[in-house]
Structure 1
Amino acid sequence: MASRSSLVVNARVHLSGSRGRSAVITNNVEYIATREGADKSATVDDLRRSALAERMGLVGYCAERPGSTALFDQDGAIPLRAARRELEKADGAIATVVLSVRRDEASELDLACKEDWQRFCRRNLTPALAEAMDVPESSVRWVAAEHENHPSSKHVHVIAWSSDGLFDSLIARSRLNRARGALTDAALAPALAAEHEARDLARSRAVEAARRVPAEEIDVALPPDGRISYAHLHRWHPDVARAVDTAIAKAESKHPEIKEAGTSYRESVERCAGLKGLEGVARDRYVNDAVRELRVRQGNALLRTIAPDRTTANEREPIASARLDNGPATERKRMRTLIGEIRACVTGKDLEEARKAVRERRPIPESCLRPCPSYALSMAKAPVAAGKALAKALVSATEDSKGRKDLSDEVGRKAERVLARALAAAISAAIRGDAAGIVLAPAKTIVKGMIL
């Protein structure tokens, strides 16, 4: 069964001027391309890419037809001569990497054949190598070949370098570990998806088994009114929720299928945690949250058994909350947009005048807002309403909510906030004024929705 140790990543760096680097160019690339066990078969992807290259007239894209070379790169099959030519022109260090999986786990990881390895490498190698080599993804180059010569494993040899020579040092252990982690996560993705499906099936079996418990076996006294759900009872009637937990435990002892399904579910959750690489507190939290979720679902199944027709007419009144379109967070987001407009449109001279007005605790001149498109649209849409709101906002903007003068030292930011609030007031007033029929500019037609 697949685990975090299923994919083994071995890497070696050959620095500029070293004997090993020369050996990679002269011998190693030929070794991985031609040794016995190197898979030269033409994959569906190779044939498709080759046909596409021919249709596009890319002469020289593939000097050898797919099926005559074991080497492949990000773009398709690559001849040995072309790979060696690129390596000879490359500057900097060269990395040799071997990715291998146990043969009996290859199918579970979708790495059972050359085409699987090609897709895995083309999807994941470039970002992982960029992380390891500390270079941009655009400069990463690599060639690879899949080998079938080992009796207990399947593996692929990779030779990687940077096209601009930026990679010219040993790989830091932390970067190599992050690259290994990314490749391992990608390799285990199919196994994790299958385990998620097994976990969900086990959970469904456990809930369905709880749903079949006879009502007379469930000794739970429900409250006379209110919603019947485990979460609601846990919050408002914790003693009843504890009674539901006790009923689940008793049902497990009487009905082995419930316990068996629950055990399978927990084992599957723990395998998921292992495939994710969770350890310590993070692993415990993941498993406990999953077990708690199952208990909630089973509790709801028991509650539906003993109270299938409970109405919810007498539920507690929900506490009123702020409207989503009028809460503090929405207001802050709106102000950030308007402050951005002010920083982009208001000239340095006008902004300095606004700062001076704030510093002297007097109203900011309306002329400071004239370069802003939102101001122009507001005044064109409903000049009377927008003008009144703008004047009122600018006059009172230097005072806080309690009427005291704001003596903050952040004069520049204060000026921007004052202008933003004034601009927001003008925009809102323009929209309201338009809706109410307040004087509109007769020579201008503004489509509703352009403001805000």
Structure 2
Amino acid sequence: MTAPFVMIAKFYLPTHENQAKNVAHLVYIGTKSEVDRGELNELEELDTGNKYVENILSKYESLDDFIDNFEINTAGTPAGHVKYMDERPGSHGLFSSDENVSLKETMKELSKHSGIVWRFILSLKEEDAVKLGYTTRESWEKALRATISEAAAKMGIPESNLRWVAAFHQKKGHPHVHVVMWEKTPQRRRGKLSKGETKDIKKVFLNEIYAKERLALTAEKSAVRDLIRDTARSDVVDVLRKVESARVKVRALSGGKAGLPPTLEPHIREELLEKLKELSKIMPQKGRIAFAYMPEEVKEKAKEITDWLLKQPGFSQSVKRCKELAKELASHYTSKPEALEKAAEKAYEDIQKRTAQIVLKGAAALQEEKAVDTARLTNSVWRSAWRALERERLRAEAESTIAAQREMEKKRKMAERGESREI
């Protein structure tokens, strides 16, 4: 079992070696060199994922030389062979209390910093991140801007003397943020956080992350309590049944959120890009990008790419679930095997058309005259296809839940009528 929320804190004293490591770590979290070991306990190791950057540093005469020659270009290949921040899935660059953060200027600042630097990793299990709405950079950015100054205050660092940057990594299984924190004017001499400080800082983050859920639970409890209080005692059981029925419907129809997309592996990315290029060559150069209006040759190619995409790990499981749910829904009206299979096929065709539309838009982008960031493009197609598929799955699960509830209610009423007839 893993904790729903994990906070790891480390500190680095102002040695020349640590200054270089801090710069390397900044490059790592800001440009996201992928580290994938699969389990939550890898978070202890993520902090060392920048070793390849440190190896690059060793090839330069000095840290200043590395920083002066460090550049990021839109082709995705910065000096020093550091991967561009948008080339890999889930990396969203650096953010802070300032609207714009310069990676290069922050690297320069940390390379000269004479005080302690603290690094934090804050992580949620994917299921909790989805439920709480912490699967995007924007949500974490908002949360950190609301809490960092208070967390720093628990360390005795006033907001006026605080500097920090962070980066969100959309890691499958445990989305997380890396936070780097330091003082403008070094004052604190003790790097290690006491147990009390660690507990207080963690509480600051937890209060913000779980704020909406606590508020919703409190409101729900109050509403149910008031309803029970205002209802005649003899009607309480029936009222509670109706309340629970309404809860299920609301949660099913509006509470579902898509999980994180499967990792887009480099070889799959290249294959997807080649397929999109092939499609772009046979697509019309002008006109509306809509599957229904495409020539038959283009439709077939788009469906071929879509079928390939929907068979990828992660996608295939979700497709299978959608087909199962379609059969479950159909089973409320028929028991014929051919009718159930037809319902599953119809569900797949709907998913296929929605995904094919996304594939077409991706291929159309390659037809534009301006330079296209192919890494960003393939990421966009991959994630958009995943979200479309997940929306269909969630909708189908909602309908299945409601249908099952209606069936139970129907049986209950039939049973009640049967009892009354016996009396």
Query: Shorter-chain TM-score: what band?
Result: 0.3 to 0.5
Highest relative contact order (Cα 8 Å, sep 6+), 1 or 2?
Answer: 2
Q: Normalized against structure 2, the TM-score is what?
A: 0.41
Largest Rg, 1 or 2: 1
